[in-house]
Amino acid sequence: MRDIGIVSYGSYIPRYRIKVGVIASVWGKDGATISRGLGINEKSVPSIDQDTATISVEAARSALKRCAIDPQDIGAIYIGSESHPYAVKPTGTIVGEAIGATPDLMVADYEFACKAGTAGVQSCTALVKADMIKYGLAVGADTAQAAPGDALEFSASAGGAAFIIGKDDVIATINHTLSFTTDTPDFWRRAERKYPAHGGRFTGTPAYFKHITSCANNLMQKVDTKPEDYDYAVFHQPNGKFPVNVAKKLKYGQIKQGLIVPYIGNTYSGASLVGLSSVLDVAKPGERVFLISYGSGAGSDGFDITITDKITKFSRDNAPTVAQMVEVKEYIDYGTYAKLTDLLYWE
Amino acid sequence: MRDVAVIGVGLTKFGELWDKSFRRLIAEAGSKAILDANIGGKDIDAMYIGSMSPGRFIGQEHVGALVADAAGFSHLHIPATRVEGACASGGLAIREGYLSIASGMNDIVVVGGVEKMNDVGGNFATETLATAADQEWEAFFGVTFPGLYAMIAKRHMHEYGTTKEQLAQVAVKNHANGALNPYAQYRREITLDQAINSTMVACPLGLMDCSPVTDGAASVVLCAAEKAKKFTDNPVKIIASGQGSDTLALHSRRDICTLDATVHAAKMAYKQANLTSSDIDLAEVHDCFTIAEICAIEDLGFVEKGQGGKAVENKITVLDGSLPVNTSGGLKSKGHPVGATGVAQIIEVVQQLRGEAEKRQVKDARIGLAHNIGGSGATCTVHILEAM
Amino acid sequence: MAGGVARFWREIPQRYNIIGNKCGSCERVFFPPRETCPHCRRKSLGKMEDIKLSGKGKIITYTIIHVGPKAFEEQVPYPVAIIKLKEGPQITAQIVDCDIDDVKIGMKVENTFRRIQEDGYTGAIYYGYKFKPVKG
């Protein structure tokens, strides 16, 4: 699989932010304590005219701006999200049309909680490897929902990242990918329900930690590597504490570049991929990246990635970096947040 | 082509008329006009009805036939046609009636304009008015009808230095005139302060820059000029009829601040009448928004392009000015029952030229002009009338 | 918006990708696409070619809508502008991603993909273009 990998990437973070402290004070809680406990300062909020489709289009268009491929050569598009605008009618076709990849195209929408985007990357990788497509586009994006007053309200945010997978002009090879999957009901959202529910502390050890560590160990065993072999590590980031803890457990130190959750919250299906984008924004040829995503329900997708020297010629500046988008922000109050996230539902 | 005269006029009060249906409104206006003209039903060769959107306002199309029926003429089987050009529907109906007589086809025609806007909610009425704009490329993206004129105003302010105060002066003037008009919807003056500080609708236009939602009907009887004196002692001749069209969307216009349809219609009318703008003694222009009056007096040639904002403070367009504009109170104060407006404008000019305008009377009024616009300027009619 | 999905679907190339067309006779660019060129008329019959516009332009006038139609009620106040595109045509669109006080005549803008409206909570969602300020 050495020559298959990422040809280009792009991400998108909406501009509105709400501080954890502002949400906390509405519910009579102490913002500083919660911020410290969660490792999150503020989260991104989509504007009223943004959703998973628009975020996916922005990220995909950024990816296309950075490379010279003809969108008509994209043979498959998979959009992974927990907040597809329609329950039935794919986000992928909207994105496909908006980037000019239709009509000779395979499309499906993916759902696997926060790892639906990385699942899309795996499918594209396989299709490219099988020579069935020239390029595949995988996007992880979300406008995450959280019930008012629930702990998730402090972290559920909006954003996404898009990856074009192919064989030519690869800037980062995907050396290997594998997954670790079990039926573990740690966090879910019933069909027709607006907000997810979760198993409280059950979401920790038997869910997030078990799957990430198992996947990580399996991957390192498969490709015969150790933590020291990697320059960057990206773990799924539902908050600022879990990824720090799992990195410690796995003896990884190099997670800072890929840890975006303190600034924008948990973008769910976007989370690991936005973290990966942030790494690619600075990575140099020869550097190696270890990525383990996590999706509740539950599963982890692991990736062993090596940056190629093609990254030096890569037109990264044609689209904003994660760091740049993190800095473009406008703070809103809780009332505006309620209006934008449709908390004030009326017919 | 032969000359055409107005031999009778009639209109209802304009306003929120809960007791009056569409049918009742037009029947009232029509019968007043017919009585004023001293004609009988058997004299009528055809009817032309201007109404912008009865289909949306009252769920009723086919109103040409409906109006002839409501007027009691269905047994006479008179040709009855409904004409539409958004807010210029009335002016277009006048022109169609005029052309049918000028061509020799008809001798006597009744023209009516009517709109019943208050049977639907305010939101729906606003959306209906917005159907005058480009649905696919303007309204779809969230621009409203006041928004379109607001963009004209912003550009006019940018290019010519027109101020919010100058917009407000138009509203104040028109309300002062409307206060003297017994048929007007709003018969009270407003202060400059009230006009400048009214609730924002689409920046820079506030509530006081916008004409209201109104029920009303107006009707005139047109007659071949050579036969007019048989019916009335004071006919008024229509000496010119002009019409122009332009792109539907504001963004496709040649110049945002110029309504080329007005320029074209006015040129046509001045040519036909062998007159220039300086021959006009008074004018009813289409002030759906205050900025519209400013652009209209420029595009009609009453003032130079860009100078329209100064017309009130320079005492040109005020009631006792050199060229009074909207002595009726304009759409702003008189009201704007869309389809009726174009016909009501003709009626004001006729009453001025007959010397019947009471407290609004312009001295020595001999030649008057009526200017009616559809949408943001895609349709325009200009009629010039002269006392006979 | 009145009208069903077909009407929206037909305009997708224009609304998603600002596809206009060019007169094969005089090279003028139009948006939305026209059946014939108003200047060349019959000479342009069959000669109109689709062209994807850059989506870059300048604001030539604007307003801030305070009283919006039902579909846009939640968004007020919002800026709407007439934008002159680089290739020549002018279009009407909302301006996003900036303070409403910062919208100015002459501002350079570029298109972005947003939700425009929806047919109620159960109907289709209509996506399309809005414009945001170009940085720098």
Q: Which residue ranges make up each domain of chain B?
A: 4-121+214-236, 132-210+239-387
Helix (H) or strand (E) run with residue C21 in it? strand C19-23
Residue C1 has pLDDT above 60, yes or no: no
Q: Where are the domains of chain C?
A: 54-136
Average pLDDT over residues C108-120: 95
Q: Which DSSP symbol is given to B15? A: B
pLDDT digits (tens, 9 = 90+) for B32-59: 999 999 999 999 999 999 999 999 999 9
**CATH of the domain spanning B4-121+214-236:** 3.40.47.10
Whole-number Cα distances in Å, B347 to B6, B45, B181, B277, B287 = 9, 21, 12, 20, 16
Helix, strand, or coil here: A51?
coil
Alpha helical stretches, state H, chain B: 22-37, 54-57, 63-70, 89-102, 122-129, 145-160, 164-178, 192-196, 225-228, 260-273, 290-299, 330-334, 338-354
Contact A138, A121 (CB under 8 A): yes
What mean pLDDT, rounded, does chain B reach?
97
Angstrom distance (rounded) from CA B332 to CA A158: 47
Q: Which of A48, A94, A347 sits opposite C127 (nearest CB)?
A: A94
Residue carrying structure tokens 């400013």 = B294
A48 contacts on C by Cβ (under 8 Å): 74-75, 115
Residue pair B70/B28 in contact (Cβ under 8 Å)? The answer is: no
What is the predicted pLDDT for the residue at A2?
60
pLDDT category at A171 given cuts 50, 70, 90 is very high
Fold agreement between B4-121+214-236 and B132-210+239-387: yes
Q: Which helix or strand (DSSP H or E) is residue B380 part of?
A: strand B379-387
pLDDT, tens digit, 9 for 90 and up, residues A30-53: 999 999 999 999 999 999 999 999
Percent of chain B with pLDDT over 90: 98
Question: What confidence score (pLDDT) does residue C3 get?
Answer: 57
How many angstroms separate the Cα of A12 from the Cα of each of A5, A161, C105? 21, 6, 28
Percent of chain B predicted with pLDDT > 70: 100
Whether A236 is a known active-site residue: answer yes
- For domain B132-210+239-387, which CATH number applies: 3.30.750.24, 3.40.50.12780, 3.40.47.10, 3.10.580.10? 3.40.47.10
What average pLDDT does this structure show over B272-286? 98
Which helix (H) or strand (E) segment holds residue A205: the answer is none
The partner residue sitting opposite B142, judged by closest CB among C2, C11, C80, is: C80
Q: At what angle do helices A52-65 and A91-98 cross, to 10 degrees?
A: 40
* SS percent in chain A: helix, strand, coil, step 5: 40, 25, 35
Put simply, the answer to whether A98 touches C97 (Cβ < 8 Å) is no
Q: How far is CA B323 from CA B280, B282, B297, in A?
A: 7, 5, 10
Based on the residue annotation, tell me whether A84 is a catalytic residue of this protein: no
First-last CA distance in chain B? 18
Rounded (to 5) percent helix, strand, coil in chain C: 20, 40, 40
Is this complex's ipTM strictly greater than 0.90? yes
Is C97 in Cβ contact with A15 (below 8 Å)? yes
Chains in contact with B via at least 3 Cβ–Cβ pairs below 8 Å: C
Summarised one tens digit per residue, pLDDT across range B171-215 is 999 999 999 999 999 999 999 999 999 999 999 999 999 999 999
How high is the pLDDT of residue A145? 83
Average pLDDT over residues A226-255: 95
Q: Just give the CATH number of A5-171+316-340.
A: 3.40.47.10
Instruction: Say whether domain A172-310 belongs to CATH 3.40.47.10.
Output: yes
Domains A5-171+316-340 and A172-310 share a fold: yes
pLDDT at position C135: 76
List the chains bordering chain A where 3 or more Cβ pairs fall under 8 Å: C
Residue for token digits 């150790």? A226
Q: How far is A106 from A338, CA to CA, in rounded Å?
A: 37
Residue A178's H or E segment, with its range, is strand A172-184
Question: What pLDDT is recorded for position B45?
Answer: 97
The answer to whether B87 is a known catalytic residue is yes
pLDDT tens for residues A265-290?
999 999 999 999 999 999 999 999 99
Return the pLDDT at A345.
61
Distances (CA, A) of A105 to A46, A170, B273: 29, 21, 65
The structure tokens listed for A229 are 């072999």
Every domain of chain A and the residues it spans? 5-171+316-340, 172-310
Q: What integer is the mean pLDDT of B144-167?
A: 98
Asked if the model's pLDDT at residue C45 lies above 70, the reply is: yes
How far is C-alpha C13 from the chain's CA centre?
A: 11
Partner C contacted by B135 (CB < 8 A):
yes
Candidates A42, A82, A153, A287; catalytic one:
A82
Confidence band of A307 (pLDDT split at 50, 70, 90):
very high
Burial of B213-222, coded b for 16+ CB within 10 Å and e otherwise, reads: bbbbbbbbbb
Of C64, C90, C94, the CB nearest to B202: C64
Residue A77 has pLDDT above 80, yes or no: yes
Strands B216-224, B236-245: parallel, antiparallel or unpaired by DSSP? unpaired
Q: Quick one: residue B59, left, alpha or beta (phi over 0 = left, psi -120 to 50 = alpha)?
A: left
Q: Can you name the CATH fold of C54-136?
A: OB fold (Dihydrolipoamide Acetyltransferase, E2P) (2.40.50)
Q: Over range B308-330, report the average pLDDT.
A: 97
Among B81, B113, B103, B111, CA closest to B4 = B103
Q: Is the pLDDT of residue A343 over 80?
A: no
pLDDT band at A346 (very low <50, low <70, confident <90, very high): low
Confidence of residue C136 (pLDDT cuts 50, 70, 90): low
Q: Which pLDDT score, from 0 to 100, does residue A194 have?
A: 87
Cα-atom radius of gyration of chain A, to the nearest Å? 19
Q: What is the pTM of this model?
A: 0.93
Interface with chain B: mutation pick from C62, C63, C107, C117, highest number of B CBs within 10 Å = C63
Looking at residue A258, the DSSP 8-state letter turns out to be G
In angstroms, rounded to a whole number, what is the distance separating the alpha carbons of residues B241 and B100?
12
Place A344 in a pLDDT band, splitting at 50, 70 and 90.
low
Residue A98 is classified by DSSP as H
User: Would you list the DSSP string of B211-256?
Assistant: ----BEEEEEEEEEHHHHTTT-SS-EEEEEEEEEE--SSGGGSS-T
Position A192 scores a pLDDT of 86
Kind and range of the H or E element at C14?
helix C12-17
Inform me whether the C-beta atom of residue C11 falls under 8 Å from chain B C-beta atoms: yes
Q: Which amino acid is at C73?
A: E
CA B105 to chain centre: 26
What residues of C are in contact with residue A45 (Cβ under 8 Å)?
none
- Residue B286 CA to residue B270 CA, distance in Å, equals 18
Q: What is the pLDDT of residues B226-270, one digit of tens each?
A: 999 999 999 999 999 999 999 999 999 999 999 999 999 999 999
